Amino acid sequence: MPAPRRRSFTAPLQRIEGKGGWFYVTVPPGLMPTSAGAWGRVPVRARLDDLAWDTSVWRTRRGDGFLPIPRKIRGARVEGAALRVAFELLDDD
């Protein structure tokens, strides 16, 4: 049976330290696609509240995923805020 193409989870908003540090959420390992492209990249359409955007999740060495959350999507949310995020795979898993 193929894995579901739509996946959702709740995770805290995190930030890479330093000037211009990215904001992101960590995708749980069990929700990461079984295959990935170059650099562990998987194209997805992500959704936070009513906002959707095309992006990628990147598989980390730990097996979880890195999903960047752009400023125009996260709005005034700050580091540590719990976000309910969904994503749909754009390519075959």
> What are the domain boundaries of the chain?
6-89
Cα–Cα distance between 15 and 29 in angstroms, integer?
19
Q: How confident is the model at residue 2 (pLDDT cuts 50, 70, 90)?
A: low
Quick one: average pLDDT of 65-90? 95
pLDDT reported for residue 43: 92
CATH of domain 6-89: 2.40.30.100
The residue-averaged pLDDT of 48-72 equals 94
Contact indicator for 68, 24 with CB cutoff of 8 Å? yes
pLDDT in tens, 7-46: 999 999 999 998 888 999 999 999 988 777 777 789 999 9
pLDDT at 5: 82
Q: Measured between alpha carbons, how far is 53 from 87 in angstroms, rounded to an integer? A: 9
Q: Average pLDDT, stretch 54-74?
A: 94
* Model confidence, pTM: 0.85
